Amino acid sequence: MNVIVRTNDRFVTVDGRKARYLEEGSGVPAILLHGSSLGSSADVFRRNLRALGAQGIRAIAVDLPGFGKSDPAEELSGAARNAFVRRFMDALGLERAALIGHSSSGGPAVSIALKNPDRVSHVIVLGTGSLLPPLEAQGTKVGGREGAAQARLEERMVKQEPTLADTRALLEANLYHHELITDEELALRHQNSIGPCFEQFVRRHAAAGDDGGGKPAVPLWQRLVELKQPLLLIYGRNDRARAEERAKLLKERYPQLDLHFADGCKHLVPWDAADLFHRLAVPFLKA
């Protein structure tokens, strides 16, 4: 259960830049997209690849530009990131694949599927808060002390490379089962949080305020039911920003959504809820 498997790095050229990815198995192709927090990379899915690959899924986790060992991109817009995913598929010769987005990559997975229905077979969303309705309409405030503490830690890290203790603190803030943070996992996460990865994190943070045109007229969470592809959503009951309450609101508004909650799970769904993720994802992708 939740065993870390060493996976060899693979590289492919996408738009003239090196992109690193990890791959296990054969069968239904599925591309796993990590989030954007400091230290994120394809390695977030190392404990999932072998389990999916052994059950008829061609599981492919990629370092997005500027993360892990992938070269950075000049353009930091959402459109450029989405284009990278499509070009990555082209580079691997994939005409169609499922998209599995964790955290901030859930929105891009949905956006790509909406705009390119011929390229995406299925969509799985893992803990993406931006795809949940807000609670402000009910006069409540999203966040809490835990979320504020994490925001302060991340803000401090923008100004200075994290220490190993900082990296552990960020992992613990996003993880319910702290025992999963082995020395190997911590060292790998820290390696992806310093040097060029840290420089790109600072660059992305500086560009975050420039959304190139403001919020869309219709929030993306309201467009989930427009997807032509099967959609599976998994959220941790203990995730930040009152995600469970907001996910229940989403289910109430759109009862047809295939939405599941993971007990004993915070934001790192691929770690905390690995067994549930595998159990739901395999038949979903192969149906």
Do β-strands 258-262 and 231-236 pair in parallel, antiparallel, or remain unpaired? parallel
Q: What is the pLDDT of residues 92-101, one digit of tens each?
A: 999 999 999 9
Q: What is the pLDDT of residues 233-279, one digit of tens each?
A: 999 999 999 999 999 999 999 999 999 999 999 999 999 999 999 99
Rounded to whole angstroms, the maximal C-alpha distance in the chain is 49
For 197-208, the DSSP string reads: HHHHHHHHHHHT
pLDDT given at position 206: 86
Distances (CA, A) of 96 to 21, 101, 253: 17, 16, 30
The residue among 43, 63, 46 whose CA lies nearest residue 3 is 46
Determine the average pLDDT of the residues in 219-225: 97
As a whole number of angstroms, the distance between CA 111 and CA 106 comes to 9
Terminal alpha carbon distance of the chain: 25
Collapsing DSSP to helix, strand or coil, 62 comes out as: strand
pLDDT given at position 225: 97
The residue among 238, 259, 245 whose CA lies nearest residue 106 is 259
Is the pLDDT at 9 greater than 60? The verdict is: yes
H/E stretch holding 108: helix 106-115
As a whole number of angstroms, the distance between CA 284 and CA 230 comes to 8
As a whole number of angstroms, the distance between CA 59 and CA 166 comes to 31
Mean pLDDT of the chain: 90
List the domain boundaries for the chain: 10-286
Cα within 13 Å of Cα(208), Cβ side: 12
As a whole number of angstroms, the distance between CA 36 and CA 267 comes to 13
pTM of the complete model? 0.92
pLDDT given at position 5: 46
Could you tell me the fold of the domain covering 10-286?
Rossmann fold (3.40.50)
pLDDT given at position 159: 78
Task: Check the CA dihedral 69-73-77-78 and report its sign.
Answer: negative
Determine the average pLDDT of the residues in 55-73: 96
Q: What is the pLDDT of residues 138-190, one digit of tens each?
A: 444 555 555 565 666 667 667 789 999 999 999 999 999 999 999 999 999 99
Residue 89 CB burial class (10 angstroms; 0-12, 13-18, ≥19): buried
Is the pLDDT at 214 greater than 80? The verdict is: no
Is residue 49 within 8 Å of residue 24, measured between CB atoms? yes
Determine the average pLDDT of the residues in 115-137: 93
Provide the 10 A C-beta neighbour count for residue 282.
Answer: 19
Is residue 108 within 8 Å of residue 78, measured between CB atoms? yes
H/E stretch holding 186: helix 183-191
As a whole number of angstroms, the distance between CA 120 and CA 114 comes to 9
Q: Could you tell me how many residues make up the chain?
A: 287
pLDDT given at position 153: 65
